[in-house]
Structure 1
Amino acid sequence: MMKIIFIFFSLVLCSNAQSKEKYYCLKSKNDVILLVSSQYPDVNHIKYYPYFKNIKISKPVKEESIDMGDDAKPEVYRKMNEIINGKITGYYTFMSQGYLLYNVEYVNIKNKKKTIFEKNDLQVKGSNCI
């Protein structure tokens, strides 16, 4: 009985901890939802909804800043490798301006398929979207 109670409280605590973290929730045309921690650019993983499994990404391997003119923050593009089982399987290019993340392009290295994720006002169950 004590094991069941312990498991129940562990699950409740895990789900509460997961829902308190804030994410940029970005959606593709195929309705795939990418979750990027609000700590961006200081992140080392991303997640996909509804799985919430951490997918490791590298520190930026390339960074480019584009001046947007007077009184505008530059657009910043950061390329980070996706690492699964110790191998680079793809890469993400994140586009932000100021402190906001606007879109992400993912390229699968094996099949060269590109997926574009764009910031949307999403409500994602089990996640706190910003």
Structure 2
Amino acid sequence: MKKPYTLLDHTADLRIRISGGDMAELFANAALALADLICDPNTLISDETLTIEIEGNDPADLMVNYLRELLYQWTGNEKLINTVDILNISDNALSARLHTTRYNADQHAILSEIKAVTYHQIAVEPAADGWQATVVFDT
């Protein structure tokens, strides 16, 4: 299966480009990209769901705030994101249902330590085939 994101060259951090047919798919794919960078998704079986609501000043700010919330679910609550359903989305707000797995060291190998989602080189914009975003993670 072709991944909906590409790793890009960056000096010290992780930089990715994410694509989606529309904004909802773009944001769902961003969650999958972050999850995929943290842990092998094939080891995850959803055992919890939660709904989040995120706001931002524009689509780029919304993306950063959204990914920061997802990263917090991992670093603060030890919840690995399995899948995401975008329930509603606009240029400055979204609600999403997260399907998560509680971290278990015996089952889940951590692939990357992502410390933060940054505003450095953030971009969320229309593309020829839908939408694309560029995000840099501090590692």
Using structure 1 for the length normalisation, give the TM-score: 0.35
Higher relative contact order (CA 8 A, sep 6+): 2
Select the structure of larger CA radius of gyration. 1
More strand by share: 1
